[in-house]
Structure 1
């Protein structure tokens, strides 16, 4: 691949949620700060919503890593499409009840309560983190709400963080789930990245991967990626990765607009920004039309139009 060509140690734009690449971009850092403050104050339910590809799972993994440094026991459920019973069993296993699968409902609930009390007596707090929460069946959401009724006279025995797509808001807006909605004390909506944030994102990830040169992405290239991706981090990663491959194939050391156009054309669901399409048409016409249009071609290449 292009790692050696650009002097990197690893691929900078993979789609796996590698927390080494978690950047202090405004929307994600603000969300992480909110989560830590809310958990520190003992709030019961916290919700983070974002469109597909906006970095929810990356934020979720970063939160888990951060909580490892706290007096905290975390339970993580990445796929919550579970029955109420399966949810309780998964939660019990995550907090250290090793024989959870052998226990029936009443006994299981009792053991969960005893384990949570034990954790609290150790001076720790418990956090259940649910990713892709929009996939959770309604009866399982209600079971989760009932589970959070476990509490002492002064505090909840565990807190819940829900990460989900916007459909989660629609689900929680149902009349049948209004009791849980009222328990959500903090919410955050992950935004897409601005054009300036995309440019910073590209350079920072490249440098964390080991790149040590000047700007790897030219300003026009970064702007094209920002426009085509609409600021969605997952699409930014895909286009940046393919742009690097294109530049490597041509032996170029800086990512330029033409590399990004090739990447966009190779990616389903992503369109070349309007002006790029006009320029491509003009360039193609100039090559075919001869000397008169050749002047137009030169003007385009020199940045005059």
Structure 2
């Protein structure tokens, strides 16, 4: 909904790891170059670690899409599997099997070995990328090392990049994984953005989204966003998205400090920098959060009134659902943070509101 209001081609601050929005800070540029070097030179194992929300997955997607290397990639983004299932997922990604096919570990390894040997003879690289690798247990990680034994006397036939949160490094320090740790030839770490980089990050995403108007976020607004987000790109996206929604509700096309403050006040219900950790919410605490969330509504009456006015202009018969919309604006923010599906039934009769989701 707010895209047309601000003149965006697409929403600039989505939480999806879209490589077209990748902002290459000096650190990320160096990491991408390092990983590119590791693949092109067949270095075997590479490690990418970083705090949640610092751009690891977006960087990986950029590497896959824009590496320029003639390679087959198997990207495993849900590695909470035992090794046999992980291996099966890999060969499915390479088109060597179907999900339904029942293969033994021995047959799967033989099929993979034949494939990588054939690809090597054609001059092609074979790359396995395991994201969220902190979820892998020690036995699976050790078996993953065995895949790197697929090699000639001079070259590795498979490159493996494991990416995850900092606890992955702790796991790799386990004595049972000493051989794997010794084989990791490249180690990279993503970092939060500096203040200057955060400003550039916001402007970059606006530009990619098609914005070409005057400065949208005031300098003080950017500074506040950077401070509260601690330089975490995902947190910046969440704050900026809520700022734009609030600005739209106010009918205000410049995001100033007051809008940022209002958005942050709403978001303080859920700590931004813990978004990657599933929130264990008991029934009592969930009810408490529901009450706390709805209590926030009295802090933004002006925004909600203007937003409601827009709805009434769009649909003369929308009066009955305006109270639901008011609550849904707050509900949307909280639910998006918790990663839960939003009940869109309250939007029945107003299809244009679905863009909010």
- Bin for the TM-score computed over the shorter chain: 0.7 to 0.9
SS of 2:210's partner is coil
Unaligned runs of 5+ in 1: 272-305
* Pairs within 5 Å for 1:96-245: 96-98=95-97, 101-245=101-245
Q: CA deviation at 1:27?
A: 2.1
Q: TM-score, normalising length from structure 2?
A: 0.73
Q: CA deviation at 1:120?
A: 0.7
How far apart are the structure 2 equivalents of 1:169 and 1:156? 23
Change (3 A) 1:170 1:96: same
SS of 2:2's partner is coil
Change (3 A) 1:71 1:162: same
Matched, 1:269 2:261: no
Q: CA deviation at 1:200?
A: 0.8
- On the 8 A contact 1:3/1:11 being kept in 2, the answer is yes
How far apart are the structure 2 equivalents of 1:171 and 1:270? 26
Unaligned runs of 5+ in 2: 274-357
After superposition, the C-alpha distances for 1:203-256 in whole angstroms (9 at most, x for unaligned) are 111111111112111100000000000000010000011111111111212110
The residue that corresponds to 2:70 in the other structure is 71
| CA RMSD across the alignment | 1.4
SS of 2:128's partner is strand
SS of 1:5's partner is helix
The residue that corresponds to 1:292 in the other structure is none
Q: Which has the larger radius of gyration?
A: 1
- On the 8 A contact 1:264/1:270 being kept in 2, the answer is no
Q: CA deviation at 1:24?
A: 2.0
How far apart are the structure 2 equivalents of 1:224 and 1:168? 32
How far apart are the structure 2 equivalents of 1:11 and 1:58? 16
The residue that corresponds to 2:87 in the other structure is 88
Q: CA deviation at 1:95?
A: 2.1
SS of 1:28's partner is helix
SS of 1:227's partner is helix
After superposition, the C-alpha distances for 1:4-23 in whole angstroms (9 at most, x for unaligned) are 11111111001011111112
After superposition, the C-alpha distances for 1:44-68 in whole angstroms (9 at most, x for unaligned) are 110110101111111111111124x
How far apart are the structure 2 equivalents of 1:70 and 1:207? 28
How far apart are the structure 2 equivalents of 1:99 and 1:201? 40
SS of 2:74's partner is strand
After superposition, the C-alpha distances for 1:88-118 in whole angstroms (9 at most, x for unaligned) are 1111222231268332222222121111111
How far apart are the structure 1 equivalents of 2:24 and 2:147? 34
